[in-house]
Each structure stands twice: as C-alpha cells, then as structure tokens.
Amino acid sequence: MLETAMTIATTEGLEALTIARLCEALQMSIGGLYRYFPSKEAIYTALQTETILRFQVFWQEAVDRARSAATGADAQAIALQLVGVGFQAYLDHAVAVPVEHRLMDSFLSSPDQLLSDDQARQVETVLGPLVADFAGLFAAAAACGALAPGDALVRTHVTWAALHGLDHMRKRDRILPEALRVGALVTATMDALLIGWGADPVRLNASRNSQAQQLPLP
C-alpha cells in the first residue's frame, strides 16, 4: 500500500496523492482504505516516516563502511572524512534509490504545510535521531580537534540545507562545465563550511582524497 502511494507521489506529484487516486490504484473502496489511513495527511505521515527510516539504514551503512575502511593514525583526518561521508550519503541516495529520494525531497521542498502539528511531531520522532546521528559526526570532529568547538546541530542543519539546495541543481550538469557541476559545488561548499568551522585545509584535502579512494558509490 505504501509502495503504491510512493509511486503515485514520485511519478505524478504529491498533489496527485489523494484518497481517491490511491483507492483507484489499489482497486480498493474508500471505506477499506480508511481502515488503514483516515486521511491524506495520515498517508503523508506514513510515507515520510518510511522514507526516513529507509534512508537512515542507507546512511548508517555508508558511515559504517567508512569507519571500517579508515586507515592511519590521524584521528582528525578520519573525523573529517566521516563528516564528508555522512553528507555525501544524502547525495548518493539520490542515485542509488531515486524513487525514495525524490519522495523525501518532495516533502522537504514543498512550500505547503502538508502535516498537522501533531503529525509533524510524529515524523520528528523518526527524523530527530537521524539528525542527531549527523550531528554526532560534527561533535566527534570537534572533540578531537578537527573542528573548532561549535553547535553540532546548527552545523548539521546548515550543511544539510546547503546540500539539499545543490541536489536540486543536478539537471543543469549536462550543460555546465565540470567546475560548475554539482559534484564540484558540493566540494566547494563543504570546504567553505568546514574550513570556516576550523578545519585545517591540508588535512581536509587528505581526508577527501581518502574518502574518494575508499568509498565508491554503492
């Protein structure tokens, strides 16, 4: 049922995901669907929760691979590498699981409030731990001296917002020179943020090179 709702939302747009449209796709009566989802907003809540949980698995696997592949005794370079891997996973998710990523992106990008306050809080109980995991990478980098002390949650939201915006520019890659494509802009953005937050440029470059060698896109 959720897979069908996900397909409608990603292929036809969130506005097309109505109770009537989902019933049509499932060949189910409206009364039958209401036993599972009492409203369109309840479907949105379930979809957001499911896509976040799936992304959390994807993200954790990427970070775990990075930790396993990390070599050398430079704890600061490894900490910076893990920050890079954690946020690169968000962009890699768009390539590896495009349908789920488009849905997660749609909820983030919509200018409308799609959920009630109570439903938004319900989604936050799932999203909050994921954001905390991202923030944990920043906190670990600051703890070992790779970054200056600072609010890890603020850094997480700033970085996520920046990469979310860049993620929307992929379609322009086909007409732009390499230096202006999303991959290069992500590197420039991460460098600007991390150096601004105290990272050593040489160590940051070394951590990025190590990341590129050890962590190909799954």
Query: What are the tens digits of pLDDT across the range 4-41?
Result: 887 887 778 777 777 888 788 888 888 777 778 777 78
Burial string for 98-129 (b: 16+ CB within 10 Å, else e) reads: eebbbbbbbbeeeeeebbeeebbebbeebbee
Residue 4 structural domain: 1-38
Is 4 in the same domain as 100? no
Output the pLDDT for position 210.
67
Output the pLDDT for position 116.
80
Output the pLDDT for position 218.
38
Is 14 in the same domain as 88? no
Distance of CA 85 to the CA centre of its chain: 12
Asked if residue 177 belongs to a domain, the reply is yes
What is the distance between the alpha carbons of residues 54 and 50, in angstroms, rounded to a whole number? 6
Is 28 in the same domain as 61? no
Asked if residue 43 belongs to a domain, the reply is no
From the CB of residue 210, how many other CB atoms can be counted at a distance below 10 Å? 21
Output the pLDDT for position 128.
92
From the CB of residue 74, how many other CB atoms can be counted at a distance below 10 Å? 17
CATH of the domain at 63: 1.10.357.10
Is 99 in the same domain as 185? yes
Output the pLDDT for position 18.
78
Predicted structure pTM score: 0.83
Regions of the chain where pLDDT drops below 50: 215-218
Number of independent structural domains in the chain: 2
Is 112 in the same domain as 184? yes
